[in-house]
Structure 1
Amino acid sequence: MKIKLLTLTSIAIAVNASAQAVEIKYVLWDSNQMPAYEQCATDFSVQNPDITVKITQSGWDDYWTALSTGFVSGTAPDVFTDHLAKYPEFVKNKQLVDLTNYIKRDKLDPNQYTNGLYQVWGKDGQQFGLPKDWDTIAMIVNMDMAKKAGITLEDLNFMTWNPQDGGSFEQIVRKLTLDKNGNNATLDTFDTNNVAVYGYQNPGSGGMMGQTEWSHFAVSNGFKFQDKPWGHQFFYNDKSLAETLDYLAGMARKGLTADFKNTQSLGADSMFVAGKVAIIPQGSWMITYFDNNVKSQYHWIPLPKGPTGKRATMFNGLADSIWSGSKHKEEAWKWVKYLGSADCQNVVASKGVVFPAIIGMAEKAIGVQMERNIDSSAFLTMSQSETYLPPIAQNGARINSTMENAIQSILLGKETAQKALSKANKKVLRYSK
């Protein structure tokens, strides 16, 4: 009887404590990361029994729509996963909490994070997020198709590219592109109007960032987005970008990629999974997706070296931010600090889904992936190549819309790249001031 009585008492205490706990609402967009953060939330609540964390996940587009609606209606989550392309607007509209005083008070060490990830979330002496992970871009290749075409992994790992003749990259893409009669695109008999398998697929237009679509080609061709983060000078009218986009548009005319309209409706990822394309570029956040869905043999490879002699990739880092309208800022800070800690990021690394921000955690995540026979080391190779940040500026939404329209017109063949980009860059310069 004593044992039962103690058990009932314990339950009563737990229920009472739970009833008094502050609930922190936290949102993210990647369903693959949910299990890791649910574990972090459980561990956090054990250490902080007066705080519970409610996690909600929604897809990319719905995520940002709901967040914007929440800011306006006053119902936004206390803490949310933030993106470099989005946060300048939030800073401008005073929707983020400056974390500087919390960081100083609790003596948090910014040097624990991979170089650059902490600094990019700061502006004018204020800090608007703690780093959670980083990503780079690589290419995924259908190795069954490559083997049939006589292409080796070494060939793929050391591709070069240029906007004039496409380099060894285009030669490989031609060998992998097959028409419905089985002719590849190196042959005169290749039928560009009846393609069964495309050698490569550009994912789309990419807006102001072109993260997976074109920026890696453009930067390896000498392109630079802007003078500095938060700077007012943009260089979308540069010849190096025009050459790159003209080249990508030309690949569709050669039958080496699906045209822009078909890409929009089908999606490059789905095309790869279905065996309709041999190579696509994609980010490290998609490693688990492809492992779960691709039935053929595949391999991740580094991006090609461009005319600069270097590989180049966008180095993007997500962060966790606190909404300025939160009624529980102290508790929200405790959760953000835990998300950015070794305790939580070690859990994230153990799931092998993304590369956590703390130094050394990415290598652990890669090791976990290796145990599942996934070689994701190409992304680490890219992180040690030439890296660049996404463009960061005021009025990002207007800049993104402007560049989206311009690049779509290029890929649809409505305008030459130089003409479309020159007009667009004039608008971007106005918006960025």
Structure 2
Amino acid sequence: MRTRRTAASLAAALTAGTLALAGCAAPGAADDSVVVDYWLWDANQLPAYQRCADAFEEENPDLEVRISQYGWGDYWRKLTAGFVAGAGPDVFTDHLTQYPGFAQKGLLLDLNTLGATRDVDYGGFQEGLADLWVGQDGAQYGMPKDFDTVALFYDTKVLSDAGLGPADLEGLDWNPEDGGSFEKVLAHLSVDQNGVRGDEEGFDPKNVAVYGMASNGSGGTSGQTTWSWLAGATGWKFTDADVWGTEYHFDDPRVQSSLKWLFGLVDKGFMAPYEEVGTEPNPQQALGSGRAVISANGSWMLGTYANLDGVDLGIASLPSGPVGHPVSMYNGLADSISAQSPNPEEAARWVEFLGSDDCQRLVGEAGVVFPARPAGTAAAIDAFADRGLDVSVFTDLVEKKQTLFFPVTEQFGAIDSMMTPIMDEIYIGDRDVSTLTEVNDRINGLLK
């Protein structure tokens, strides 16, 4: 999982707590080696990072890496509690929605000030990833670990039953006025309870058996897998700068028309209504159960979709938008060092290794995510290929620079807590997209 509504509650907890900069890691193991506590949330990546830890400890016998993995929700709650109590990890997997608040409160160390990470060549990562983690003060608050983009997942058997093949999903175009050839495909793939398809006379949009498009909810502020790839394909951007923007652009007609088209699919019967998916949609389950045919989702979900029982998985590129090509959100996680760590230099040695070709190759070989270094990315491509998955639709977006950066701004938690229910209302049909103009003024007021 890459985004959730934890940002606001996390910020509130950190603000309310007394953040004493006390020691947070275990003082050392019995053999006098220094213990570096490392936290992550993705259980699928735990084995790969344990292999990294084993390799690191062989090269650094004076250090021991202790890895703890928690589910997404528990992760941020425990991290918040750890910061408040001064008992959190030395190093932890960080997210772009969280680190601005952490940095503002002095909870992260600048990697440029530590011996092992001071001279890292950040130009050796996939383009732009390291820049996302540079604070307004010029500090490097994260070591890039992986990246993700978005594509279309589908079941080739269901596609074939509809008289279509993988080639029919290539080269699709989309626009917010009539949906282009992409909407025509979604219409054909939608089937009502009487077996009538969405592009046939008599289709009943109120009684749908199969939706052409799987819902992934309203998307909140970022719309990472829901609407950002649509709005981005019109040339729209979240803010006035790729990193540390000071003005959001939700008043732009391009994003508003994109949202109107997407949620308009509900009335047409091509996507499930909000009442069916609720606040915790499960698009992969919808695809696996045959309730939906096409699911837009992130590259970190490759393993989940590939493991769906009875699904002959296919992956297609996002449709090209008015800009002439597809556009995907480009997000990247990083490893950060807590300012509360009693062993910052030792923690920096671990972080430097995490960002190295050696570790990132090990992570790539696990075939779960795309590591941030090209060597790790190449290893992941090979690992997925060994499983019969061509993942070039994800990596081509980065190589061709057909991407939209995740918004990195101050006050993201407060903004997300405001935007999420508003976006839900738009999905439900209780709010017009034009009201985002007034909402945008309120959002930008938080940044002044």
Partner SS for 2:332: strand
1:252 paired with 2:266, answer yes
Counterpart position of 1:408: 424
Question: Which residue does 1:182 correspond to in 2?
Answer: 195
Identity %: 39
Question: Which residue among 366, 369, 381 is the counterpart of 1:351?
Answer: 366
Alignment of 1:7-406 (within 5 A): 18-102=30-114, 107-123=119-135, 124-228=137-241, 229-264=243-278, 266-383=281-398, 384-406=400-422
User: Structure 1: 5+ residue runs without aligned partners?
Assistant: 1-15
Q: What letter matches 1:252 in structure 2? A: V
State the SS of the aligned residue for 1:19.
coil
Letter aligned with residue 41 of structure 2: W
Q: Any stretches of 5+ residues in structure 2 without a counterpart?
A: 1-27
1:363 deviates by 2.3
Cα pair 1:80 1:322 within 8 Å, conserved: yes
User: What is the aligned-residue RMSD (CA, Å)?
Assistant: 1.6
Q: Hey, what's the Cα distance between the residues in 2 that align with 1:251 and 1:334?
A: 50
What are the superposed Cα offsets for residues 291-344 of structure 1, whole Å, 9 maximum, x if unpaired? 122422121111111112121011111110001111111111111111001111
Q: Residues of 2 paired with 1:269 and 1:394: CA distance?
A: 32
Greater per-residue helix proportion: 1
Q: Is the 8 A contact 2:29 2:35 kept in 1?
A: no
For 1:289, the aligned partner's letter is T
Partner in structure 2 of residue 426 of structure 1: 441
Letter in 1 for 2:300: W
User: Could you say which structure has the larger radius of gyration?
Assistant: 1
C-alpha deviations, 1:94-151, integer Å up to 9, x for none?
1101111226875322221111111221123211011111111111011111111122
Alpha-carbon offset, residue 423 of structure 1: 2.4
Distance 1:105 1:381, change over 3 A: closer
Contact 2:116 / 2:348 at 8 angstroms: preserved in 1?
A: no
Cα distance, 1:58 vs. partner?
1.7
Q: TM-score, normalised by structure 2?
A: 0.90
Report if the CA contact (8 A) 1:302-1:382 is conserved.
no
Of 116-125 and 406-415, more deviation after overlay is shown by 116-125
Q: Take 1:335 and 1:22, find their aligned partners in 2: how far apart are those partners?
A: 12
Give 3-state SS (helix, strand or coil) of 1:249's partner. Answer: helix
Report the alpha carbon displacement of residue 169 of structure 1 after superposing the two structures with TM: 0.6
CA apart distance, 1:266: 4.8
Residue aligned with 2:89, SS: coil
- 8 A contact 1:113–1:357 mirrored in 2: yes
1:153: Cα distance to partner? 1.4
Could you say what secondary structure the match of 2:114 adopts?
helix
Q: Secondary structure at the match of 2:120?
A: coil
Indicate the larger mover: 231-240 or 287-296: 287-296
1 CA distance for matches of 2:300 and 2:117? 33
TM-score normalised by length of structure 1: 0.93
Relative distance call for 1:71 and 1:104 in structure 2 (3 A) is: closer
Q: Contact 1:302–1:381 (CA<8 Å) still a contact in 2?
A: no
Tell me the residue number matched to 2:25.
Answer: none
Instruction: Tell me which amino acid in the other structure corresponds to 2:152.
Output: M
Q: Determine if contact 1:350/1:368 at 8 Å carries over to the other structure.
A: yes
- Code of the aligned partner of 1:331: E
- Contact 1:179/1:192 (CA < 8 Å) preserved in 2? yes
Assess if the C-alpha contact under 8 Å between 2:274 and 2:427 holds in 1: yes
SS of 1:250's partner is helix
Kept in 2: contact 1:313–1:385 (CA 8 A): no
Q: Structure 1 residues 106, 432: closer, same or farther in 2, change over 3 A?
A: closer
Q: Which amino acid aligns with 1:245?
A: L
Does structure 1 retain, via aligned residues, the 8 Å contact 2:305–2:313? no
